[in-house]
């Protein structure tokens, strides 16, 4: 099977095998990973390794950042960010479904300015050249829009603390991550199974709001307790650690970026070449993680989907907000899977 699922999504096979073995028995301990105490030395080592790898791969070690593995998904962070950072006014760039949801949550806690939006064309581009107020507590962006297939190629220039939902492109490409005051990402795209969310925060952005923050929403409490304020999702954290080790052994973010660019070039090259298909996202904003496209000849829909199924292509149907198709090409997806999809598209054209 070629797994193009948008999330939960493909993980490296060697990581799956290691995680499966750990569920049976962790490191010859006689105990399963999912039955050991989260306070045990074995799991404390796992958590420390996972957080250290996250900072290392982002180039943020020894730069005043803390990494945490929390629960509730990225959707929980929509509220957490505002609770911890919104004192007077926050700015949000609205580039899709998830930023729309983040805006809704932030409005519960203070003034929110929508500094830009691409809603006018169903979020098929990243807004540019807009004015950013100078009195924001923070500016929130979604670096990659899974549903619509758009991605920031350059970061906004702002004096406000830059906050990002990077759920669907974390660890996929090189950026100057020190420009972010806080970024967060659900694990189920490029890190591990659903159940944990990575939050990376620069320590000096915390502790500046006057409101009382509920303990479970307080980043400082979670940072001080080293992600152990409550029982962490041990399996999701362990599998994320294995995935980050896998990525480091491949050469880190720089190496995987080259692979992702090759996959994207192959995929978009066929979308643009093949007269039966049209890309959805603006070309300059196309995501390397999620290629969205439509079949412009409805009569061939049944044939295309039947051929895709026969070729073992899984998860290529587009989100209902866009329709058409979506090829999610996360870190663990091999180039050969993209080639399998491209071959089907070429065969459809040949037989049309």
Q: Which sequence positions are flagged as catalytic?
A: 98, 165, 189
DSSP secondary structure letter of residue 201 = E
Contacts of 91 (CB under 8 A, 6+ apart): 112, 113, 114, 115, 132, 133, 136, 138, 139, 140, 158, 160
Closest CA to 329 of 169, 211, 183: 169
Element (H or E) spanning 337, and its range? Answer: helix 335-351
Q: Which region holds residue 122: left if phi is over 0, alpha if psi is between -120 and 50, else beta? A: left
Question: Alpha-carbon distance 68 to 70, whole Å?
Answer: 6
Is residue 78 within 8 Å of residue 99, measured between CB atoms?
Answer: no
Question: Alpha-carbon distance 278 to 276, whole Å?
Answer: 7
């Amino acid at each position: 099977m070629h797994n193009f699922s948008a999330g939960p999504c493909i993980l490296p096979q060697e990581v799956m095998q290691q995680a499966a073995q750990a569920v049976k028995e962790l490191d010859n301990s006689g105990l399963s990973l999912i039955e050991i105490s989260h306070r045990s030395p074995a799991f404390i080592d796992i958590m420390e390794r996972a957080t250290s790898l996250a900072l290392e791969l982002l180039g943020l070690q020894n730069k005043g950042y803390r990494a945490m593995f929390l629960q509730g998904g990225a959707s929980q962070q929509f509220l957490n960010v505002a609770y911890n950072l919104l004192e007077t006014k926050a700015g949000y760039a609205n580039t899709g479904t998830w930023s729309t949801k983040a805006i809704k949550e932030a409005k519960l806690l203070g003034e929110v300015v929508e500094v830009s939006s691409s809603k006018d064309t169903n979020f098929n581009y990243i807004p540019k050249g807009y004015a950013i107020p100078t009195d924001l507590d923070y500016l929130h962006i979604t670096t990659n829009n899974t549903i619509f297939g758009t991605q920031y190629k350059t970061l906004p220039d702002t004096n406000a603390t830059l906050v990002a939902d990077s759920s669907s492109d974390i660890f996929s490409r090189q950026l100057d991550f020190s420009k972010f005051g806080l970024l967060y990402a659900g694990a189920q795209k490029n890190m591990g199974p659903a159940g944990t969310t990575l939050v990376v925060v620069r320590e000096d952005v915390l502790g500046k709001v006057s409101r009382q923050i509920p303990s479970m929403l307080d980043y400082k409490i979670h940072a001080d307790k080293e992600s152990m304020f409550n029982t962490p999702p041990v399996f999701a954290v362990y599998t994320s650690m294995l995935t980050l080790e896998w990525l480091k052994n491949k050469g880190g973010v720089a190496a995987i970026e080259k692979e992702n660019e090759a996959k994207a070039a192959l995929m978009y090259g066929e979308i643009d070449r093949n007269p039966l298909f049209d890309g959805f996202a603006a070309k300059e904003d196309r995501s390397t993680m999620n290629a969205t496209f439509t079949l412009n000849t409805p009569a061939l829909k049944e044939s295309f989907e039947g051929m895709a199924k026969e070729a073992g292509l899984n998860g290529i149907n587009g989100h209902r907000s866009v329709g058409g198709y979506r090829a999610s090409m996360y870190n663990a997806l091999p180039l050969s899977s993209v080639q399998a999809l491209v071959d089907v598209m070429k065969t459809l054209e040949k037989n049309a």
